[in-house]
Each structure stands twice: as structure tokens, then as C-alpha cells.
């Protein structure tokens, strides 16, 4: 990764890729550690020598909470997903009742959109 100041910051790069249909992660060359959200350098080590990689999209629900808004708005779940690349992120799992989402559920990433903005979402893995 060059230090060229004409490039955008890593976050803009990530969002541009998402809009193009790619889910990116960063992997430090020396340690092999994958990290997210996008950063200038590897957390802890400060190693700035890293590559963008594409996520497999597969993950596992690590934590789940069901939010109960005032009716008639239905309950909805917010999850933390551990991607197989060992990074954690917040998201939602669609196509399943909120209360049926359990820790350990295997999920697959999908790029959806809300309000015209691309958004990383998950479906139950087949």
C-alpha cells in the first residue's frame, strides 16, 4: 500500500468497493492478521504494510439482541457476526424471525441497500 496522498483514506476505498459489489478486508503482510473496520495500519503493531483482500462472506453469529420497538413496529434483531477471516462486525440477518437467530448460526454476507446507501447484510447460510 503506497502512502500516496492523492489516494483516499481506507474508509472511502472500502465504501467505494462495497458500492461496486466487493466486501473488502485488510490483511497485514507480516502477521497475516485480518482487520476491520478499515484502518491506516494494523491495530496494535502499527504495521502499515498490508493488502486489501476480499472477504469470503461466510460468518457465524457471535452475539444477538432482539430490539422490541413500540407496536406495530415488529421486533428486529441486531447481531455481531464473526467472519471466517476472524473479524467482527455489527449487522442484521434477514429472512429469519428475529427471535430465531441464535449464537452460532452460520450466515452469508450480502450487499443490500438502505436509503440508496449500500449496506452489508447477512442471510442464513444454506
Give contact residues for another protein (rule: CB under 8 A): 11, 37, 62-68, 76, 78, 80, 88-92, 103, 114, 117, 119
Q: How far is the CB of 96 from another protein (least distance, A)?
A: 15
Q: How far is the CB of 89 from another protein (least distance, A)?
A: 6
Spatial separation of the C-alpha atoms in residues 51 and 60, rounded to whole Å? 24
Quick one: 2 or 90, whose CB is closer to another protein? 90
Quick one: 34 or 89, whose CB is closer to another protein? 89
Q: What angle do CA 85, 76, 111 make, to 5 degrees?
A: 40
Closest CA relative to residue 78, chosen from 99, 59, 47, 58: 99
Question: What are 53's three cell numbers?
Answer: 483482500
Quick one: 72 or 126, whose CB is closer to another protein? 72
Question: What are 9's three cell numbers?
Answer: 483514506
Amino acid at each position: 500500500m503506497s502512502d500516496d496522498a492523492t489516494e483516499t483514506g481506507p474508509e472511502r476505498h472500502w465504501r467505494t468497493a462495497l458500492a461496486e459489489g466487493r466486501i473488502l478486508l485488510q490483511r497485514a503482510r507480516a502477521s497475516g492478521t485480518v482487520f476491520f473496520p478499515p484502518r491506516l495500519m494494523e491495530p496494535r503493531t502499527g504495521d502499515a504494510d498490508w493488502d486489501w483482500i476480499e472477504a469470503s462472506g461466510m460468518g457465524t453469529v457471535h452475539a444477538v439482541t432482539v430490539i422490541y420497538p413500540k407496536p406495530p413496529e415488529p421486533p428486529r434483531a441486531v447481531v455481531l457476526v464473526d467472519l471466517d477471516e476472524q473479524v467482527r462486525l455489527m449487522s442484521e440477518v434477514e429472512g429469519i424471525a428475529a427471535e430465531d437467530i441464535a449464537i452460532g448460526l452460520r450466515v452469508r454476507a450480502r450487499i443490500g441497500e438502505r436509503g440508496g446507501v449500500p449496506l452489508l447484510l447477512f442471510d442464513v447460510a444454506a
